[in-house]
Structure 1
């Protein structure tokens, strides 16, 4: 049996990109801006529509103020359509993203069904985002918020939260937090 090394390399590259997408979701949900910064090339573009479209590092600089009112962020990447050609790749990544927002005078939930339109590049053997764009296909809004973490069903449960106080930062040793 002959092993097609180009097919093996394509599988390795696609798995590295799937891992990149998963780390992006984790960094967004935990408000881990140091980790988020490590996922993009310095010259990368981030396109969040009217919210921001420009250099990814500038987007990450303003993320703390964007995420400040978000008590819960929960990104779920689902179908991943990835094409690789050498050291470049493209991905159409389907996602569901829940946002629970608490502002001074109101609270609301926004569940977005959408896609990431991504371009990735591999430099020195490492895949990172070259261009990351968000496309919304639908949204579901509750105002006021219907998300609650105080229901008796959750009594005694570990509760996730943005930042280094999330239980994952104490639990995991192999899944690196931060950069």
Structure 2
């Protein structure tokens, strides 16, 4: 049975949107296993001076790249997609906060930019085929202005990279760490 093309496009858009947001979660939680599952084996990732080349090599280097990242917080906003059968392209707007340990103390970098994405559906599953980061602006605070010890946050759960993040204990349906 063939679906109405409009319904198929909605299903494809939703699966690609879930792929995009899964990337944000995997990056922020330093979940490299999950990150690997989002790309095709022959995919390319261009992350500026940080890395440019095969996505699987990028993911292999993530522990080193993320080692000094105390906080990563990726947010996507506008998602523009064009779908043609089993191929799609996306221009995805993002805001990404990075708090990094530096020799003189932590710094904050808030980047406003876009992902230029190419996706491909193989064996019924959409994954990244090519992802390139485009920086449109950056706001840098040196030293950091983030204060997680402020009384306003007293008693709140505090996010962390990896499985020590409170989401791993809180959620059961979202299946963190699998």
Matches within 5 A, 1:1-179: 5-179=4-178
Paired residue secondary structure (1:164): helix
Tell me the TM-score normalized by structure 2: 0.96
Counting matched residue pairs gives 176
Query: CA contact under 8 A between 1:70 and 1:100: conserved in structure 2?
Result: yes
Shift of residue 50, structure 1, vs aligned partner: 1.7
Residues of 2 paired with 1:50 and 1:31: CA distance?
Answer: 20
Structure 1 residue runs of 5 or longer lacking an equivalent are none
CA RMSD of aligned residues (A): 1.0
Query: CA contact under 8 A between 1:35 and 1:177: conserved in structure 2?
Result: no
Tell me the TM-score normalized by structure 1: 0.96
Paired residue secondary structure (1:63): helix
Residues of 1 paired with 2:84 and 2:23: CA distance?
Answer: 22
Shift of residue 133, structure 1, vs aligned partner: 0.6
Residues of 1 paired with 2:102 and 2:84: CA distance?
Answer: 45
Shift of residue 102, structure 1, vs aligned partner: 1.3
Residues of 2 paired with 1:11 and 1:86: CA distance?
Answer: 13
Paired residue secondary structure (1:145): coil
